[in-house]
Structure 1
Amino acid sequence: MIAIGLTLVCIALIWYSKYRPNKTQEQTTFKEDEDELSEIFNRAIEVVSREKYFLNKSLKLSDLAKEISSNERLLSRSINRFSNGNFNKFINSFRIEHSKELLTGGQFDHYTIEAIADECGFSNKVSFYNAFKSETGMSPTQFRAVKQSN
């Protein structure tokens, strides 16, 4: 009886050592996954900034994924991994940077805040105000006033 028990334990150990997950393989897969996500994220940044995709009010994750020849799941994972939020926050960060230029550039001084929001790809004033305040800590009106007084 003891011999059978020891035999079964030995078989289990042999099986486990032969078929257990290989940690170096897992690490390699993780590294390759990180590299792929990083590449996707960099392509997304390039397309969004170069092509000014952020100006499209109806831009969706699927649109950008198609443009960079990726799929939605990988694009979403890359944005979540390498930026400070989800797809909407990622796109809004480009819109906010563009709005800062318009708010301080001089040639748009006669534009209302709503017109600036529209020019930057926001679909409404409320989402613009919320995103702007979240990113800068002040409202667009306050930002414009501070920059004009400097």
Structure 2
Amino acid sequence: MNWTMIAISLTLIGIVLIWYVKRPKKASSGKVDIDEEELGMVYNRTIELINERKFYLNKSLKLSDLASELSYNERILSRSINKFSNGNFNKFINSFRIEYSKDLLTGGKFDHYTIEAIADESGFSNKVSFYNAFKSETGMSPTQYRASKQLN
């Protein structure tokens, strides 16, 4: 083998190594690279859509449904919610449901509604999950909340 062939071979190896080191890395965990600013924009758009279309009233709402509606990857949507809200997707959606239920509990025209009916109207699939989410969010049961607001 002559010196020219060795030099060409070493040059090619060097080029391949540089390419390998400089090329964008794919995350082995399947994560999609997105910066914090973009995650914030995803989060803000998610809140806008949820408020506009009241997706939280859908009892069977899933992350995949919302991601599809927003045309986002589920992982990106989940990461934005986890980063900018105080919990996961379920806690995030339940916070909208709780705010809605507070209006129903104190709105006057729903005073004749039972707590179960308020839960149903607010998008909860059952009374127990409503009670647990409400108490976790407000520190009191829906019944206590209604009574405290009626006193004021």
| Short-chain TM bin | 0.7 to 0.9
Tell me how large the CA RMSD over aligned residues is: 1.9
| 2:40 matched residue in structure 1 | 38
| 2:74 matched residue in structure 1 | 72
| 1:129 matched residue in structure 2 | 131
| 1:111 matched residue in structure 2 | 113
| 1:96 matched residue in structure 2 | 98
Give the deviation of 1:35 after TM superposition.
1.3
Identity over aligned pairs, percent: 77
Partner Cα separation in structure 1 for residue 44 and residue 66 of structure 2: 12
Residue 90 of structure 1 aligns with an amino acid whose one-letter code is F
TM-score, normalised on structure 1?
0.79
Give the deviation of 1:113 after TM superposition.
0.1
Q: Aligned residue pairs: how many?
A: 125
Give the deviation of 1:73 after TM superposition.
0.3
2:122 to 120, 124, 139: 120
1:84 aligns with 2:72: no
Partner Cα separation in structure 1 for residue 88 and residue 104 of structure 2: 25
Partner Cα separation in structure 1 for residue 36 and residue 69 of structure 2: 21
| 1:10 matched residue in structure 2 | none
Give the deviation of 1:36 after TM superposition.
1.3
| 2:50 matched residue in structure 1 | 48
Structure 2 spans left out of the alignment, 5+ residues: 1-20, 23-33
Higher helix share: 1
Partner Cα separation in structure 2 for residue 146 and residue 134 of structure 1: 17
| 2:65 matched residue in structure 1 | 63
Residue 45 of structure 1 aligns with an amino acid whose one-letter code is I
Residue 83 of structure 1 aligns with an amino acid whose one-letter code is S
Residue 76 of structure 1 aligns with an amino acid whose one-letter code is S
Structure 1 spans left out of the alignment, 5+ residues: 1-18, 21-31
| 2:148 matched residue in structure 1 | 146
1:54-109 Cα deviation digits (max 9, x unpaired): 00000000000011110110000000000000000000000000000000000000
TM-score, normalised on structure 2?
0.78
Partner Cα separation in structure 2 for residue 81 and residue 56 of structure 1: 23
